[in-house]
Amino acid sequence: MNMLTVCALVCTIVALAGSADLPETKAESNETAKTHLVKMSSKCDDGWTQFNGRCFSYVAEPMTWDKAEKNCVSLGGHLASVHNFLEYCRLEKLILITTHDEKETWIGGTDAQEEGHWIWSDGTTFQYNNWCPGEPNNGGGLQHCLQMNYSDGKCWDDLSCYEERPSVCARKM
């Protein structure tokens, strides 16, 4: 079984297992909706989704990587860092639920300070990665920022930081 198939299976399982923490429909009873809102508001602000001790928010407006990072900082966080496969699946799920699409999206990885040395904008250690085959390739010597959901593999790609993409912000709870 190839890696893409394994990734798709695990992400599907995570999505199905995690669906219990999302409102089902507008037809939910007011009691259930109120309970859900109370649970969410005690952890993350409205518009933010809690996972693994952090709050995540999808920002639909396309921006350059630098503007997206500044926007996240203004919201009390940074572009999202990803520390394991389950976090990556959760971000994929957040984007899919929010947009009904698998949009290429900025997250907080960059090697702009030193080519080939990837860091997260939030200062956490860059240990996990999900690079697409042949990536990062620093195409044209100008690709220093990390987008997710690239290609059919929905993996990572380095891209020019001046391209505009939606983004995912993250902040501590």
Domains of the chain: 3-172 (3.10.100.10)
**Count of all residues that appear for the chain in the document:** 173
In 3D, which of 75, 36, 32, 70 has the Cα closest to residue 54?
75
7-11, 98-102, 112-116: least confidently modelled range? 7-11
Model pTM score: 0.77
Per-residue pLDDT, 139: 92
pLDDT average, residue stretch 71-78: 97
Amino acid, res. 151: S
Residue 110 has pLDDT above 50, yes or no: yes
Predicted pLDDT at 53: 93
Q: Are 171 and 75 in contact (CB under 8 A)?
A: yes
Higher pLDDT, 22 or 148: 148
CB 83 within 8 A of CB 128: yes
Pairwise CA distance, residues 46 & 107, whole Å = 21
Question: In this predicted structure, what is the pLDDT of residue 99?
Answer: 95
Question: Which residue type sits at 86?
Answer: L
With helix as H, strand as E and coil as C, how does the chain read? CCHHHHHHHHHHHHHHHHHHHCCCCCCCCHHHHHHHHHHHHCCCCCCCEEECCEEEEEEEEEECHHHHHHHHHHCCCEECCCCCHHHHHHHHHHHHHHHCCCCCEEEEEECCCCCCCCEECCCCCCCCCCECCCCCCCHHHCCCEEEEEECCCCEEEEECCCCCEEEEEEEEC
Q: Per DSSP, what are the bridge partners of residue 168?
A: 58
